[in-house]
């Protein structure tokens, strides 16, 4: 059964190379496409590599089954969907081939020459190169329009970041298809223009260089530099440990040497790296549980230099035009697992960031101080870091919330950027309608950022907080142009409240966990219109348990209740655009949400709230019942005021603290006061 989506069909995927990363790339494809019947074939000319790759994939799926990530039957099916073979003929009918072999032009030319001769003339050819420009890799290909780089990051089946790097001749439609495809299969793709090393590796390898130079200068030893840099940048592991894990010394040595002429003269292979590559030994880093001692002076000397290098490198990359602030911030946070640089600069002050970069440049000849950093420091303004994006498709604006690490949770930046974008859409005569969606397939919006809720200190402050965010949803509701919410995943709390402010709601089909108002589990009530819009959309009787027990409903239940208009198989965004066009043409008429009072039955269903706070439940009931007898505008104000009253209870403090400490799976021990 072929996989057809976004205007293209994939029947088979080929991965060439069964070394460090090829089997993991193949495993990720199989995990996401095995249910569609798309086989994944791994080809290598070395049988030992194939055997090792197969064993590695089988072991990973066995562990995933043990941990409950996949059911045993699914884990076995995923592995059986993969074929490890030395026969290139097995990928002759592949529609998508990814090469993950040696980082050498002659090797890549030979591989793609074979693919060009054997595979369909419509097949996509991609290289998982970490450095080489697509123009170099594919220079001998007859049809370069279907060729590009797709750069994965370790470990490829779990790390969500991929760089999509089109070449000069790559068909832009293919690039956009792959951006959609990778988002659909659970990755966070960023589009990067062609340059040696792309956007991420100059930072990964540059941070290693900066750390290594502090060792060369006698400021610290390897163990000290490793743990200091890890702490200073919030890294999962230090730069030396990362190179041990990934076996990255040889490729970093080569990459830094090439970057010297292709990016800036500061990049070079440090002497200690040259020696380490010759020895073939790993770096001597701290063992598990080992405490590494160092002075405050050593800490300051290493961290200030590496942070200065970090800020300088990311600004050089954005200034070069190959990437942008939003994508690079996402890449550092999700792919390299370190503190996002522009947020870090905003926290420390952009002027202070410039001082660190300038100090580093004075000490390190050839290090560039980017003009964009100089200009931003002169303005005295923080960086604007986009998390909400607008892309116009003819007369329809597509607005997407992108915070994959927190499942697109709402925070102050999201609300402010939504406000700015929707005001711009309101004033734009070219735009007739909007599609509002979230990034990925797991969540439209998972709710409000808990830290943002926990920051409210007084009832008055909480009420004002609600009214401010409600104003954004009111703007969406009263835009004067149809807004279709394409609910690409679950919508909890503020996510469902945002969706309800839209003209129409459609959802990806078959979501077992879809909508919930889980606020009672946190010891609070909904604060963005949930108690007012939900009863108006589906009726008081159906809304009553959803608002009080915090349980989720499926997408099919939401459709039956009238909360959403359609469950969609296939391209959700295209269907949402179609909804906008049908509304504009008059083919579909959507009744607006009732703005006046609604019927409040004298008898409502009994609701078992279990362990939930009876005090908070009484506030929810009051907001729902009294708000139903008011206009929507009055009801929203009542909800905001009642939300503020939650701060006077013990149970809000208990609920928030329990969530922050234990997560959502542990019930809070409410005291009902």
Cα–Cα distance between 598 and 576 in angstroms, integer?
29
User: DSSP assignment, residue 148?
Assistant: E
Per-residue pLDDT band for 2 (boundaries 50, 70, 90) equals confident
Q: At what angle do helices 614-628 and 632-645 cross, to 10 degrees?
A: 160
The closest of 409, 436, 415 to 425, measured between CA atoms, is: 436
Give pTM, 2 decimals: 0.95
Q: Which fold has domain 388-662?
A: 2-enoyl-CoA Hydratase; Chain A, domain 1 (3.90.226)
Could you read off the pLDDT of 625-646 as tens digits, one per residue? 999 999 999 999 999 999 999 9
Q: What's the pLDDT tens digit per position in 529-577?
A: 999 999 999 999 999 999 999 999 999 999 999 999 999 999 999 999 9
Query: How far apart are alpha carbons 328 and 3 in whole angstroms?
Result: 31
- In sequence order, the β-bridge partners of residue 506 are 486, 566
What dihedral do alpha carbons 493, 498, 504, 506 form, nearest 10°? Answer: -50
Which residues are annotated as catalytic? 497, 519
pLDDT score recorded for residue 32: 97
Please compute the mean of the pLDDT values over residues 41-68 and round it to a whole number: 96
CA distance 379 to 351: 9
CB 456 within 8 A of CB 465: yes
pLDDT of residue 434: 98
Helix ranges (DSSP H) in 478-539: 494-500, 530-538
**Cβ(428)–Cβ(610) below 8 Å:** no
Percent of the chain with pLDDT over 90: 96
Residue 129 host element (H or E): none
**How do residues 583-593 score in pLDDT, each as one tens digit?**
999 999 999 99
Report the mean per-residue pLDDT for the chain.
96
Distances (CA, A) of 410 to 321, 358, 438, 491: 29, 36, 11, 11
370, 319 Cβ separation under 8 angstroms: yes
| Tokens, residue 251 | 């490729």
Nearest to 235 by CA among 305, 335, 311: 335
Q: What number is the average pLDDT over the span 448-474?
A: 94
**What secondary structure does DSSP assign to 51-70, as a single string?**
HHHHHHHHHHHHHHHHTTSS
Q: Is residue 1 scored above 80 in pLDDT?
A: no
Q: Where do the structural domains in the chain lie, given as residue ranges?
A: 3-191, 201-379, 388-662
Distance CA 471, CA 622 (A): 22
Give tens-digit pLDDT for 250-298: 999 999 999 999 999 999 999 999 999 999 999 999 998 899 999 999 9
Report which DSSP code applies to 36: G
Q: Would you state the structure tokens that stand for residue 25, as one six-digit string? A: 């790339």
* Polymer length in residues for the chain: 673
pLDDT tens across 477-522, in order?
Answer: 999 999 999 999 999 999 999 999 999 999 999 999 999 999 999 9
Provide the pLDDT for residue 4: 93
Residues 388 and 326: their CA atoms lie apart, in Å, by 9
Identify which of 490, 488, 481 has the alpha carbon closest to the alpha carbon of residue 512: 490
**Is domain 201-379 in CATH 1.10.1040.50, yes or no?**
yes
Q: Is 346 helix (H, G, I), strand (E, B) or coil?
A: helix
User: Which pLDDT does position 163 carry in this prediction?
Assistant: 98
**CATH number belonging to domain 3-191:** 3.40.50.720
The reported pLDDT for the residue numbered 246 is 79
Average pLDDT estimate for 308-331:
98
Question: Whose CA is closest to 28, among 17, 15, 19?
Answer: 15
CA–CA distance, 260 with 223 (Å, rounded to integer): 27
Is 90 exceeded by the pLDDT of residue 451?
A: no
- The whole-angstrom separation of Cα 626 and Cα 640 is 13
Q: Which pLDDT score, from 0 to 100, does residue 452 have?
A: 87
Concatenating the DSSP letter of every residue in 165-181 gives EE-TTS-HHHHHHHHHH
Q: What is the pLDDT of residue 308?
A: 98
Share of the chain above pLDDT 70, in %: 100
């Amino acid at each position: 059964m072929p996989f057809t989506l976004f205007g293209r069909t994939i029947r088979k995927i080929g991965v060439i190379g069964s070394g460090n990363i090829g089997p993991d790339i193949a495993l990720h494809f199989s995990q996401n496409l095995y249910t569609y019947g798309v086989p994944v074939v791994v080809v290598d000319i070395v049988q030992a590599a194939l055997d090792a790759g197969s064993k590695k994939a089988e072991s990973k799926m066995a562990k995933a089954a043990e941990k409950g990530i996949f059911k045993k039957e699914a884990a076995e099916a995923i592995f059986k969907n993969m074929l490890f073979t030395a026969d290139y003929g097995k990928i002759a009918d592949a529609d998508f081939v990814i090469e993950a072999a040696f980082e050498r032009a002659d090797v890549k030319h030979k591989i793609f020459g074979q693919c060009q001769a054997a595979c369909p003339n419509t097949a996509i050819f991609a290289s998982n190169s970490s450095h080489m420009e697509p123009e170099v890799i594919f220079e001998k290909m007859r049809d370069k329009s279907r060729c590009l780089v797709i750069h994965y990051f370790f470990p490829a089946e779990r790390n969500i970041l991929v760089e999509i790097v089109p070449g000069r001749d790559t068909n832009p439609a293919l690039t956009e298809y792959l951006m959609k495809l990778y988002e659909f299969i659970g990755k966070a793709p960023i589009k990067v223009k062609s340059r040696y090393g792309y956007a991420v590796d100059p930072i990964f390898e540059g941070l290693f260089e900066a750390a290594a130079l502090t060792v060369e200068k006698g400021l610290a030893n390897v163990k000290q530099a490793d743990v200091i840099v890890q702490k200073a940048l919030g890294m999962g592991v230090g730069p030396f440990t990362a190179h041990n894990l990934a076996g990255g010394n040889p490729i970093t040595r080569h990459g830094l040497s090439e970057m010297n002429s292709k990016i800036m003269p500061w990049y070079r292979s440090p002497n200690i790296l040259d020696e380490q590559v010759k020895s073939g030994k790993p770096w001597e880093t701290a063992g598990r549980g080992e405490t590494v001692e160092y002075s405050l002076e050593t800490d300051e000397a290493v961290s200030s230099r590496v942070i200065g290098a970090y800020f300088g490198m990311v600004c050089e990359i954005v200034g070069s035009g190959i990437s942008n602030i939003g994508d690079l911030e996402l890449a550092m946070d999700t792919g390299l697992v370190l503190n996002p640089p522009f947020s870090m600069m905003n926290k420390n002050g952009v002027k202070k960031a410039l001082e660190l970069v300038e100090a580093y440049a004075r000490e390190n000849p050839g290090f560039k101080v980017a003009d964009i950093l100089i200009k931003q420091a002169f303005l005295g303004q923080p960086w604007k870091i986009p998390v909400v994006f607008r892309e116009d498709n003819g007369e329809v604006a597509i607005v997407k919330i992108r915070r994959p690490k927190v499942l697109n949770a709402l925070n102050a930046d999201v609300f402010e950027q939504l406000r700015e974008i929707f005001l711009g859409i309101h004033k734009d005569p070219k735009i007739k309608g909007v599609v509002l969606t979230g990034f990925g397939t797991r969540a439209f919006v998972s709710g409000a950022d808990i830290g943002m809720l926990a920051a409210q200190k007084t009832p008055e402050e909480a009420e004002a907080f609600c009214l401010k965010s409600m104003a954004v949803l009111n703007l969406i509701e009263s835009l004067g142009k149809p807004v279709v919410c394409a609910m690409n995943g679950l919508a909890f709390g503020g996510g469902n409240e945002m969706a309800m402010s839209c003209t129409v709601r459609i959802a990806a089909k078959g979501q077992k966990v879809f909508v919930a108002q889980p606020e009672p589990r946190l010891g609070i009530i909904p604060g963005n219109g949930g108690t007012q819009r939900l009863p108006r959309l589906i009726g008081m009787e159906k809304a009553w348990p959803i608002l009080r027990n915090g349980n989720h409903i499926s997408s099919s239940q939401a459709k039956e209740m009238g909360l959403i208009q359609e469950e969609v198989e296939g391209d959700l965004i295209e269907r949402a655009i179609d909804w906008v066009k049908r509304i504009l043409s008059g083919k579909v008429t959507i009744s607006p949400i009732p703005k006046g009072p609604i019927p409040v039955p004298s008898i409502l269903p009994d609701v078992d709230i279990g362990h939930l706070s009876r005090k908070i439940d009484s506030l929810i009931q009051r907001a729902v019942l009294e708000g139903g007898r008011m206009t929507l505008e009055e009801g929203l104000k009542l909800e905001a005021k009642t939300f503020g009253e939650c701060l006077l209870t013990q149970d809000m403090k208990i609920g928030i603290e329990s969530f922050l400490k234990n997560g959502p799976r542990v019930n809070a021990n409410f005291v009902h006061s």
